[in-house]
Amino acid sequence: MWIKETVEGITKKYKTNDPYAIISAKNIILVEREMHEDIYGFYKYIRRNKFIFLNSRLSEPIKRFTSAHELAHVELHSKTNTPFLRRKTLLSVDRIEQEANRFAVELLLLDESIYQYEDTNMTINEIGGIYGVPEEVTHLKKF
């Protein structure tokens, strides 16, 4: 639950759940570069500067999820340079990657967003898709 509480604190402080707005407000340097198609992005901590690198070739929803995932590393593992977020990392058993995925899901898929759809027959995966959360990780959402 500490990850959800961390996300709630951030969204309250910055009055948004937009990862790009939070990254900007925190003076994290966001760099978009063309990378191998399997690489979504990564986080680097260099001389007290925080950098998030995104693959410019990704679709907008995947860029948004990746930026939220990398923001998680800033918040949860700030002095650790993280491995590349790859397509297969969404299914990773590595603790810090799972924590970052859970943070990204909580940030992009707020409880209020889900409650908007309570009178529909939509699944959590369908609702997650609206907010750019990949199906592979929607199960990480905690209510």
Q: Which two tokens stand for residue 11?
A: 């969204």
CA contacts within 13 A on the Cβ side of 89: 22
Q: Can you give the pTM of this predicted structure?
A: 0.91
Do residues 92 and 72 make contact, with C-beta atoms less than 8 angstroms apart? no
Please indicate, yes or no, if residue 43 is contained in any of the structural domains.
Answer: yes
Q: Is residue 92 part of a domain?
A: yes
Q: What is the CATH number of the domain that holds 62?
A: 1.10.10.2910
108 within some domain: yes
Residue by residue, pLDDT tens for the chain (143 residues) are: 799 999 999 999 999 999 999 999 999 999 999 999 888 999 998 888 999 999 999 999 999 999 999 999 999 987 776 666 666 556 566 788 889 999 999 999 999 999 999 999 999 999 999 999 999 999 999 87
Instruction: Please give the residue range of the domain that contains residue 15.
Output: 2-130
Question: For the chain, how many structural domains are there in total?
Answer: 1
Any idea what the Cα angle at residue 22 is, between residues 16 and 25, rounded to 5°? 115
Other beta carbons within 10 angstroms of residue 109's beta carbon come to: 23
